[in-house]
């Protein structure tokens, strides 16, 4: 897959073969970053369930200051390191091996957070995933920060994500939820 825009435009990112990682389609990624354009320049980014790193690397390419990738699979982490090195951005990334739902893996005062859990995890551990997302938004986003949660189309409703202020954009079989702190947070 390729980086779509910015200083790294056209550069390749490798993903491990198989279904362990599910890179977001280019057209969905383009729509995502069009929406996030005001937040990305000079942002501190958190990429949970990073997989190939396509979201975090795209953010770097578009002007993010730094990215923390969180991934638990050893082979996937090794590929993330190779991608960062190959793109020449290793000094702007931190790759953490661990469970992406564990707050100790996160940063504080995040400007942009990507949460792209495996669909199977969302099905099997829905309450745990939703609690983690709510905590991320309430306790780890900066005051103007934004979190994007990627889910299958129709898998969630806005009231499940309360008290975060949520809006959704649908792209084919994908829902991209944009979450910010609710009023009074």
Q: Which long-range contacts (CB under 8 A, 24 or more apart) does 82-85 make?
A: 82/14, 83/13, 83/14, 83/52, 83/53, 83/57, 84/53, 84/57
3-state secondary structure of 71: strand
Would the pTM of this model clear 0.85, i.e. be above it? Answer: yes
Q: Is the pLDDT of residue 23 over 70?
A: no
pLDDT attached to residue 1: 86
pLDDT attached to residue 87: 97
Q: Is the pLDDT of residue 18 over 80?
A: no
pLDDT confidence bin for 69, thresholds 50/70/90 = very high
| Those residues with Cβ within 8 angstroms of residue 32's Cβ, 6 or more apart along the chain or in another chain | 24, 55, 148, 176
pLDDT attached to residue 21: 53
pLDDT confidence bin for 159, thresholds 50/70/90 = confident
pLDDT attached to residue 165: 83
What mean pLDDT comes out for the span 158-166?
83
Q: Is the pLDDT of residue 8 over 90?
A: yes
Residue pair 14/82 in contact by the 8 Å Cβ criterion: yes
Domains of the chain by start residue, with CATH: 26-180 (3.40.50.150)
pLDDT, one tens digit per residue, over 85-139 is 999 999 999 999 999 999 999 999 999 999 999 989 999 999 999 999 999 999 9
Q: What percent of the chain has pLDDT over 90?
A: 77
């Amino acid at each position: 897959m390729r980086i779509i825009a910015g200083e790294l435009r056209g550069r390749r990112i490798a993903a491990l073969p198989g279904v362990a990682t599910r890179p977001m389609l280019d057209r969905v990624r383009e729509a995502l970053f069009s929406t996030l354009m005001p937040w990305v320049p000079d942002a501190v980014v958190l990429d949970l369930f990073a997989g190939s790193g396509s979201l975090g690397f795209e953010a770097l390419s578009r002007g993010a200051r730094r990215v923390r990738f969180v991934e638990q699979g050893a082979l996937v982490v090794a590929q993330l390191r190779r991608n960062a090195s190959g793109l020449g951005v290793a000094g702007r990334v931190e790759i953490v091996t661990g469970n992406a739902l564990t707050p100790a893996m996160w940063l504080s005062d995040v400007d942009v957070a990507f949460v792209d859990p495996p669909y199977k995890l969302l099905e099997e551990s829905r309450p745990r995933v939703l609690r983690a997302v709510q905590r991320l938004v309430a306790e780890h986003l900066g005051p103007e920060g934004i979190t994007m949660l990627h889910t299958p189309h129709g898998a969630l409703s806005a009231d499940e994500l309360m008290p975060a202020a949520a809006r959704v954009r649908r792209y084919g079989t994908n829902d991209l939820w944009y979450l910010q702190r609710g009023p009074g947070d």
